Amino acid sequence: MKTFKQIQEQTINRIFGNFVRDEDGRVDYDLSSIPEEEWLLFVAVLELMRGGLEYQEVLGRAREKAEANLKEDINKFYSRLRTEYRSGRRYNFKEWISVVRDMMDELD
């Protein structure tokens, strides 16, 4: 049965090819040892990863924009609510509900 270290070395060799460390500790790869089918798989995985990262960036920008718009709308709502409340105008319950409903529509 193989040890974990042997499995790890086999996996690294299979993915990256045979490599040798020089006296400075740098790694020198023998790229000719990697089969062509594995290069194609490696390139496909890299493309998928890059696509996922690009998607995350786009999603992040959209989320930031939505949050900024929501904060702006909430600030407008609070401002209008304060203005209506401090105006001194007396509303009956039905009128006050109508005012708040109009302000809620602005949030959408």
Residues 52 and 104 in one domain: yes
**Alpha-carbon span 89 to 94, nearest angstrom:** 14
Residues 51 and 4 in one domain: no
Strand 27-30 to 18-21 pairing: antiparallel
Residues 14 and 51 in one domain: no
Residues 63 and 93 in one domain: yes
pLDDT grade, residue 102 (50/70/90)? confident
> With 70 as the cut, is the pLDDT of residue 20 above it?
no
Instruction: Indicate yes or no: pTM above 0.75.
Output: no
> With 80 as the cut, is the pLDDT of residue 76 above it?
yes
Range of the domain at 95: 35-108
What's the number of domains the chain is made of?
Answer: 2
Residues 20 and 55 in one domain: no
Residues 87 and 40 in one domain: yes
Residues 50 and 75 in one domain: yes
Q: Return the higher-pLDDT residue of 15 and 101.
A: 101
Buried b (16+ CB within 10 A) or exposed e, 23-58: eeeeeeeeeeebeeeeeeeeeeeeeeeeeeeeeeee
Q: How many CB atoms lie within 10 A of CB 11?
A: 10
Residues 26 and 8 in one domain: yes
For residues 67 and 52, the answer to whether their CB atoms sit within 8 Å is no
Residues 56 and 79 in one domain: yes
Residues 97 and 62 in one domain: yes
Q: Which segment, 25-34, 36-45, 85-94, is predicted with the most confidence on average?
A: 85-94
Residues 27 and 6 in one domain: yes
**Average pLDDT over every residue of 31-46:** 71
> With 80 as the cut, is the pLDDT of residue 38 above it?
no
Residues 40 and 84 in one domain: yes
